[in-house]
Chains A and B, each alone.
Chain A
Amino acid sequence: MKNDEFELYYKFTRKLQKEKQIRDIDRKMLDIANSSRKRRRFDEQTEKISKQKKTRKFYKTRARALVFIISVSLGLGVGTKALYDEVAPIITVYVQNEADNYTLAEWFGYYNVSDEGYFLDSQIKREVNDGWFNEGPMPFDYTDPENLSITEDGRKVGAIVDYYNGFNRYLRSNIDKGYYETIYTQMERLASIGKDPNSIDSLYTFEELTEMLGKEEIKGMGVN
């Protein structure tokens, strides 16, 4: 499968999925919002603000909070439709770094929806040595359900999870050997065993995969 062929398939399936995707994201975001957060209420008290040096914990807390804000807001119901006219949210994932250690990476991607369809406006922020590096826009829309991959035995692995593995290959390769081809191969495998390659339910984090499969380490595409 060549890149231009893949692009055609990609655009076609993407259009078909637009409505379903919005409904699914609505449900998924509401689940996330309701599952883990507790709103604390405070009576009036004097403001005591201090400045503390940024640490890994601050970054982590901030990132989770920001994802939560989006999740809750999109799940609130009233006003949700208006927000969908502008954006849809994405997710925190664990990725594998060069040293084969898992590290927290925060990825914020937004769909800008217009009459012409979706436009990805995203960026990668990666936590390395207590600092975040903006790695720039992604070369591909990894939040799109069409970009699923699947392991040899048919288990589903989210495309987001595969980001670093796939992207590294893409950077190192020449035409016809890149990530597009890899993704498409995975999609075909998914379809060949009767699975829906366009299901957003097939997006998992490493944590979810680990729990689901009962394994200690989940490393992404084709690896368990």
Chain B
Amino acid sequence: MKDYEEVIKLDNEDFLIVSRLNYEGKEYLYVNSLVNESDYSILEEYEKDGRTVVKSIDDDKYELIMNLFTKNLINDNN
């Protein structure tokens, strides 16, 4: 078991990286705020000008990615 959790800072607010998944070569993160636990986001991670950047996914991808996170989670727990 890992001793540490990954936390990403977004708009100066800490978000816990709850889960990661790779889909069609893209890396997605499910993050949950550590300040207000009811806030969450799904981020896409990519490279730009030599930097790793993140941004929220588009609405049209939301449903698909959310379902993939669910299936990953279920597999992890099995």
> Is B4 interfacial (CB-CB < 8 Å)?
yes
Q: How many A-B residue pairs have CB under 8 A?
A: 134
> Is A172 interfacial (CB-CB < 8 Å)?
no
> Is A21 interfacial (CB-CB < 8 Å)?
no
A39: chain B residues at CB < 8 Å are 39-42, 62
* A76–B42 CA distance with the chains assembled, in angstroms: 15
- Most chain B CB within 10 A, of A44, A65, A87, A121, is at A65
B42: chain A residues at CB < 8 Å are 39
**Which of the candidate stretches A48-56, A160-168, A178-186 sits at the interface with the other chain?**
A48-56
Question: Which range holds the interface residue count of chain A?
Answer: 35 or more
> Is A191 interfacial (CB-CB < 8 Å)?
no
Contact of B37 among A41, A64, A69, A72 (CB under 8 A): A64
B56: chain A residues at CB < 8 Å are 40-43
A41: chain B residues at CB < 8 Å are 41, 56
Q: Let me know if A42 and B43 touch, CB within 8 A.
A: yes
* A17–B71 CA distance with the chains assembled, in angstroms: 25
Q: Let me know if A108 and B43 touch, CB within 8 A.
A: no
A interface, over-half SS: mixed
Contact of B74 among A42, A47, A110 (CB under 8 A): A110
Q: Let me know if A65 and B4 touch, CB within 8 A.
A: no
Q: Let me know if B18 and A62 touch, CB within 8 A.
A: yes
Closest to B42 in A: A39
Closest to B10 in A: A42
**Which of the candidate stretches A78-86, A93-101, A195-203, A207-215 sits at the interface with the other chain?**
A78-86
Q: Let me know if B4 and A44 touch, CB within 8 A.
A: no
List which A98-129 residues lie within 8 A (CB) of chain B.
108, 110, 121, 123
Closest to B8 in A: A49
> Is B48 interfacial (CB-CB < 8 Å)?
yes
> Is A58 interfacial (CB-CB < 8 Å)?
yes
Q: Let me know if B4 and A52 touch, CB within 8 A.
A: yes
B39: chain A residues at CB < 8 Å are 37-40
**Chain B interface residues (CB < 8 Å from chain A):** 2-11, 16-19, 30, 32-34, 37-43, 45, 48, 51-56, 62-64, 66-67, 69-71, 73-74, 77-78
13 pairs, CB–CB < 8 Å, chain A vs chain B: A39-B41, A44-B55, A47-B51, A49-B8, A53-B5, A61-B37, A65-B18, A65-B32, A66-B73, A68-B40, A76-B67, A86-B74, A121-B78
- Knowing that A45-B53, A86-B71 touch, tell me 17 more A-B residue pairs with CB under 8 angstroms: A39-B39, A40-B33, A41-B56, A44-B55, A45-B55, A47-B52, A48-B9, A49-B6, A49-B8, A50-B7, A52-B4, A65-B40, A69-B19, A70-B73, A76-B66, A79-B63, A108-B77
Pairs A-B, 10 closest by C-beta atoms: A73-B70, A65-B32, A51-B4, A44-B55, A41-B56, A65-B18, A47-B52, A40-B41, A48-B9, A58-B5
